[in-house]
Amino acid sequence: MRVVITGMGALAPNGNTVPEYWNSLVSGKSGIDHITYFDTTDFPVKIAGEISNFNPEDHFERKEVRKLDPFSIYALVACNEAVQMSGLDSFNFDQNRAGVMVGCGIGGINTLLDQHDVLKNSGARRISPFFVTKLIVNIAGGQIAIKWNLKGPNQTIVSACASATDAIGMALRVIQSGMADIMIAGGTEASVCDLPLAGFSKIRALCNDAEPPQSASCPFDKNRSGFVMGEGAGMLVLETEEHALARGATILGELAGYGVTNDAYHVTQPAEGGTGAVNAMQLAIKDAKAKPKDVNYINAHGTSTPFNDKNETAAIKTVFGEHAHRLKISSSKSMTGHLLGASGGIEAIAGLKVLDEQIIPPTINYNSPDPECDLDYVPNTAQKQKVDFLLSNTFGFGGHNAVIALRKWPG
């Protein structure tokens, strides 16, 4: 059974719709800047990839905004774009065979921090009646199901930075199992706030301030020093090929394969040589009934951390051998920062646009080659390239590795 993508929606630091986001990627435009959400005077890190020029009340009534944490708002906005693109908003489909699979790393952290302040300052009686239903990590998927009356399988995947890719991969499995014809899948995250920033800073995972801020995320560059936090959402509409063709939908690409593994090594560091990533890429390629030589491009996890980038490079060399040096590889995190649990959603969208436009977005801020990272990372400028089959890599704390394979349709 072939599973295809018929809709996509993005809300990213460098673009609030798929066209805005994609145009920013191919032009090398970064969405990373100084943090405006809170006072960073006492923080060692003062930069992030915030959503900009965005007002929730442009999308929801004010009374509805009060009931939603930003991570749910982002998911619903991205989902709305994906559903409209797919044409499902005007098509009478079987809601009992349509479901949702959302990836998220943290959930309603803004709500948690806000209500904790209320509890400390004003007491338990002042806690919002919407506290729990804004906070819990599964609620974005629940809100999506309610809005579009989707009564099929509905689950939330939490696997750190691999969450969205796992959600897309597990949605593929749900459809292949015969439990659904349609799945909305992707990831959302809204964790650019004081406590997560302080926590990631404490474990020295983040890049300290750079000037200009847009230069901070420099994957695979010798002078990389850590990732930059980002936020947003990326959502896809998946369907069986048969279902999509029967309703005359425009097919954007095929979700051809999924590979998932765990390093079982360390809570934050990848296994030496990227052994878990090796297995995940091999599984995704095998699942797609393809061979390593068929892969033209990899949207890398590419976090701009010293450990990830060298181990991901090593993993790619192990999987592809000599072909690794012919592959095009780039990291869109150089322009968005790291969206944590939402990363795989917007990066899958980047992959689909590569298949459509036959243009590979660059890895910006690549200025000093690293001997341990010696592959073709499409430095600084987008490149025209024939791409029929690609991988999108995401790896997360806890040793999670998730990879999806996307194929141009018809392939």
Q: Report the pLDDT averaged over residues 70-94.
A: 96
Torsion of CA 290, 294, 297, 301, to 10 degrees: 40
For residue 308, the enclosing domain spans 258-407
Q: Are residues 60 and 136 in the same domain?
A: yes
Q: Report the pLDDT averaged over residues 37-50.
A: 96
Band of residue 411 on the pLDDT scale cut at 50, 70, 90 = low
Q: Contact, 345 vs 186, CB < 8 A? A: yes
Over the Cα atoms of the chain, what is R_g? 20
CB atoms within 10 A of CB 62: 8
CATH number at residue 332: 3.40.47.10
> Which of the listed residues 205, 227, 253 is the one where a domain comes to its end?
253
Q: Report the pLDDT averaged over residues 225-252.
A: 97
Q: Is 371 exposed, middle or buried (0-12, 13-18, 19+ CB in 10 A)?
A: exposed
Contacts for 172 with CB less than 8 Å, ≥ 6 apart: 3, 183, 238, 255, 258, 404
> Which of the listed residues 253, 281, 311 is the one where a domain comes to its end?
253
Q: Report the pLDDT averaged over residues 247-266.
A: 97
Q: Are residues 149 and 230 in the same domain?
A: yes
Q: Are residues 271 and 315 in the same domain?
A: yes
Q: Are residues 243 and 269 in the same domain?
A: no
Q: Are residues 293 and 244 in the same domain?
A: no
Q: Is 119 exposed, middle or buried (0-12, 13-18, 19+ CB in 10 A)?
A: middle
Q: Are residues 191 and 50 in the same domain?
A: yes
List the catalytic residues. 161, 301, 338
Structural domain tally of the chain?
2
Backbone angles phi, psi at 381, to 5 degrees: -135, 135
pLDDT more than 90, % of the chain: 97
Q: Are residues 241 and 344 in the same domain?
A: no
pLDDT for the residue 197: 96
Measured distance CA(326)–CA(315) in Å, rounded: 15
> Which of the listed residues 206, 235, 253 is the one where a domain comes to its end?
253
Measured distance CA(205)–CA(213) in Å, rounded: 17
> Minimal CA–CA distance to 262: which of 121, 399, 408, 122?
399
Q: Report the pLDDT averaged over residues 304-308.
A: 96
Q: Are residues 59 and 186 in the same domain?
A: yes
Between 207-216, 272-281, 332-341, the lowest mean confidence (pLDDT) is in 207-216
Q: Are residues 40 and 141 in the same domain?
A: yes
Q: Contact, 284 vs 277, CB < 8 A? A: no
Q: In 3-state terms, what secondary structure has residue 325?
A: helix
Q: Are residues 143 and 72 in the same domain?
A: yes
pTM of the model: 0.97
Query: What are the angstrom distances between the C-alpha of 3 and each of 146, 220, 230, 257, 276?
Result: 24, 33, 30, 9, 26
Measured distance CA(270)–CA(264) in Å, rounded: 9
Measured distance CA(187)–CA(165) in Å, rounded: 8
Question: Structure tokens of 84?
Answer: 């409209």
pLDDT tens digits for 377-403? 999 999 999 999 999 999 999 999 999
pLDDT for the residue 380: 98
Query: What are the angstrom distances between the C-alpha of 385 and each of 108, 362, 388?
Result: 40, 12, 10
The 10 Å CB-count burial string (b at 16+, else e) for 93-115 is beeebbbbbbbbbbbbbbbbebb
Q: Contact, 102 vs 140, CB < 8 A? A: yes
pLDDT tens digits for 160-185? 999 999 999 999 999 999 999 999 99
Q: Are residues 23 and 157 in the same domain?
A: yes
pLDDT for the residue 287: 98
Q: Are residues 183 and 305 in the same domain?
A: no
pLDDT for the residue 90: 86
Question: E-strand spans in 263-303?
Answer: 297-299
Residue 209, pLDDT > 90, answer no
